[in-house]
Amino acid sequence: MRYLSTRGQSNSDTKNSAAPRFTEILLAGLAPDGGLYLPESYPQVGKAELEEWRGLSYADLAYAVLSRFIDDIPAADLQALIARTYTAQVYGNGRNREQAAEITPLRWLEKPDEARGEGGLAILELSNGPTLAFKDMAMQLLGNLFEYVLAKRGEEINILGATSGDTGSSAEYAMRGKERLRVFMLSPHQRMSAFQRAQMYSLHDENIHNIAVRGSFDDAQDIVKAVSSDHAFKARYRIGAVNSINWARIAAQIVYYFKAYFAATGGVGGSSDREVAFAVPSGNFGNICAGHIARMMGLPIGRLVLATNENDVLKEFFQSGVYRPRVSAETHATSSPSMDISKASNFERFAFDLVGRNASVIRNLWSAVDAGGSVDLSKTSFFAKLSDFGFAAGRSTHADRLATIRQTFEKYGLVIDPHTADGLKVGSELRSPDMPMVVLETALPAKFEETIGEALGRRPERPAALQGIEDLPQRVEVIDVSVDAVKAIIQRLLD
Ligand SMILES: Cc1ncc(COP(=O)(O)O)c(C=O)c1O
Ligand SMILES: N[C@@H](CCOP(=O)(O)O)C(=O)O
């Protein structure tokens, strides 16, 4: 499988006439032209194959899906690497053996009832990895992939990442103590929950460096892109990425859409004739982009419901055709803080498909975005095509979030986190009664005690190993929003 950039100029820039393969783009992160990598075509999965995949374990399914995208790691090595990643030990989090073995179990809130024409409503549990957020689903694999590829090549990498709360800890837990790699993680100063801060800043491993930026996640993400676009700096300091700008993150996230689809349509012995809807709490558009790609591969996804919080840039696009990223000052600090994002990196990947994979169109549109402008497709033929992609979108506010957390507890006895609540609120509103609706759980409530307390008047449960984490000594360097300041820290620590 070869990969191309959404901006279409990478190959000439790298003076390499052949398009790169997986391991190259794993290490590269952002394409040299500033675009994002995508496979040159999406592998197609027919109905017969879907039926064959239905009974596979999570690790075997992950291999079936990922081997379509990764053909430059020997099959046996890739299989072993994936089997070592997706284990009940890594994704167990105190659950019983049967649930833990599922890795991403589906929990029905309302069971389907065919006789009554009810498709059912379910939560897909994605947050039982080491840092209690869905990021662990891909990040644990990335850690193992980096380790394997770097050892084979005899190389090192310095990961530069940005987090709004969950990518950071997930990457640090996946990479801590690993040889040949260091992590420099930028976080928005004072905009994450106390638990999220403690998860990251209490790590004292030598290869982990936390940097808090006096700005928003978008500021931090812009810095990551600016540093990665300085080709000389990137090459000299071997800068890599773990954010969802790295294709490997998206590829790994595709797997659980397949797993959930099978679970929602009868499991082993079920049928792949039915369509399933997914509701996805969204910020950087990575998670739902993986759903979009699963659908493009042939998975019968009837609807992809995108849920935003008060930072509703993406909802606005799917309703109006105008993509208008906000500046930091217009980005609200909300009670679903990991979604406080106003410039969604992976939206560029979807836009590339929407405009018929025409890289020059994306180049033009994104030169406006990169200059602080917006993209207006409302009067173009592309907007008319949007309905072919199955998206629907809605918004959830602080009051909605609290009400949804309360109602879910009262009705189903389940405590959900504020981001999952945004997904459930919007998914419930935009649901067709006869189509199963799967809401993606993106974090556990333990990460957001304050909001759970406000909604339910009590603290959420937390795993014993994470009790008192906020009291541990923390290590973080606080800086202004500055590309040069980040470069200086990297230079200081590496030169
Ligand atoms: C808990 C949580 N929910 C939702 C999201 C949004 O996901 P995405 O950025 O992939 O759209 C994030 C961060 O990205 C998150 O950490
Ligand atoms: N919500 C994320 C920010 C987006 O990160 P990405 O790595 O998925 O692009 C976070 O919690 O850090």
Look up the CATH number of the domain holding residue 274.
3.40.50.1100
Question: Which atom of ligand 1 lies at the shortest distance from residue 253's CA?
Answer: 10
Cα dihedral sign, 449-214-138-343 = positive
CA of 124 to the centre of ligand 1 (A): 14
Q: Does any domain span residue 347?
A: yes
Q: Does any domain span residue 448?
A: yes
Indicate which ligand has the atom closest to the C-alpha of 289: 1
Indicate which ligand has the atom closest to the C-alpha of 139: 2
Question: For residue 405, what are the domain limits?
Answer: 103-131+248-456
Contact 204, 475 (CB under 8 A): yes
Residue 286 Cβ < 6 Å to ligand 1: yes
Residue 166 Cβ < 6 Å to ligand 2: yes
Residues 6+ away with beta carbon under 8 Å from 183: 159, 161, 171, 172, 175, 176, 207, 208, 209, 242
Question: Which atom of ligand 2 lies at the shortest distance from residue 187's CA?
Answer: 12
CA of 218 to the centre of ligand 1 (A): 13
Residue 419 Cβ < 6 Å to ligand 1: yes
> How much of the chain is in helix, strand and coil states, percent to nearest 5?
45, 15, 40
Q: Which pLDDT score is estimated for 45?
A: 98
Q: Does any domain span residue 17?
A: no
Indicate which ligand has the atom closest to the C-alpha of 288: 1
Question: Which atom of ligand 1 lies at the shortest distance from residue 443's CA?
Answer: 1
Question: Which atom of ligand 2 lies at the shortest distance from residue 163's CA?
Answer: 12
Name the stretches of the chain with pLDDT < 70. Answer: 10-17
Could you tell me which of 251, 275, 287 has the C-alpha nearest to residue 390?
A: 275
Q: Which pLDDT score is estimated for 96?
A: 84
Catalytic residue among 15, 47, 111, 135: 135
Q: Which pLDDT score is estimated for 369?
A: 95
Beta-bridge partners for 133: 443
**Best of 282, 289, 305, 347 to mutate for ligand 1, by most ligand atoms within 8 A of CB?**
282
Indicate which ligand has the atom closest to the C-alpha of 311: 1
CA of 282 to the centre of ligand 1 (A): 5
In the numeric block, which tokens belong to residue 248? 């490997």
Q: Which pLDDT score is estimated for 394?
A: 98
Contact 38, 6 (CB under 8 A): yes
Q: Does any domain span residue 58?
A: no
Q: Does any domain span residue 328?
A: yes
CA of 192 to the centre of ligand 2 (A): 12
Q: Are strands 437-440 and 322-323 parallel, antiparallel or unpaired?
A: unpaired
Q: Is 117 left (phi over 0), alpha (psi -120 to 50) or beta?
A: left
73: DSSP letter: S
Count of Cβ atoms closer than 10 Å to residue 117 Cβ: 9
Could you tell me which of 420, 394, 391 has the C-alpha nearest to residue 277?
A: 391
CA of 287 to the centre of ligand 1 (A): 7
Q: Which pLDDT score is estimated for 10?
A: 64
In the numeric block, which tokens belong to residue 109? 């809130």
- Biggest CA-to-CA distance, the chain: 68
CA of 343 to the centre of ligand 1 (A): 13
User: Looking at ligand 1, which residue's alpha carbon is closest to its atom 12?
Assistant: 338
**Best of 164, 175, 289, 340 to mutate for ligand 2, by most ligand atoms within 8 A of CB?**
164
Contact 240, 159 (CB under 8 A): yes
**How far is the C-alpha of 173 from the C-alpha of 169, rounded, in Å?**
6
Contact 365, 375 (CB under 8 A): yes
**Best of 282, 309, 338, 442 to mutate for ligand 2, by most ligand atoms within 8 A of CB?**
338
Please give the tally of structural domains in the chain.
1
Q: Does any domain span residue 344?
A: yes
Q: Does any domain span residue 172?
A: no
The Cα angle at residue 477 between residues 229 and 140, in degrees rounded to 5:
65
Indicate which ligand has the atom closest to the C-alpha of 161: 2
Residue 133 Cβ < 6 Å to ligand 1: yes
Residue 287 Cβ < 6 Å to ligand 1: yes
135 is catalytic: yes
In the numeric block, which tokens belong to residue 171? 């990457």
In this prediction the pTM is: 0.97
Q: Which pLDDT score is estimated for 97?
A: 85
The string of pLDDT tens digits covering residues 201-257 is 999 999 999 999 999 999 999 999 999 999 999 999 999 999 999 999 999 999 999
**How far is the C-alpha of 384 from the C-alpha of 389, rounded, in Å?**
11
CA of 217 to the centre of ligand 2 (A): 9
Residue 334 Cβ < 6 Å to ligand 2: no
Residue 284 Cβ < 6 Å to ligand 2: yes
Q: Does any domain span residue 381?
A: yes
**How far is the C-alpha of 465 from the C-alpha of 27, rounded, in Å?**
33
**How far is the C-alpha of 147 from the C-alpha of 164, rounded, in Å?**
25
ipTM of this model? 0.99
User: Looking at ligand 2, which residue's alpha carbon is closest to its atom 7?
Assistant: 243
Q: Which pLDDT score is estimated for 26?
A: 98
CA of 38 to the centre of ligand 2 (A): 19
Torsions phi, psi of 88, nearest 5?
-65, -25
Contacts of 87-92 with C-beta under 8 Å, sequence gap 24+, read: 87/59, 90/129, 90/130, 90/136, 90/140, 91/128, 91/129, 91/136, 92/128
In the numeric block, which tokens belong to residue 155? 């190389």
Q: Is 205 left (phi over 0), alpha (psi -120 to 50) or beta?
A: beta
**How far is the C-alpha of 125 from the C-alpha of 163, rounded, in Å?**
22
**Single-letter amino acid code for the residue at 360:** S
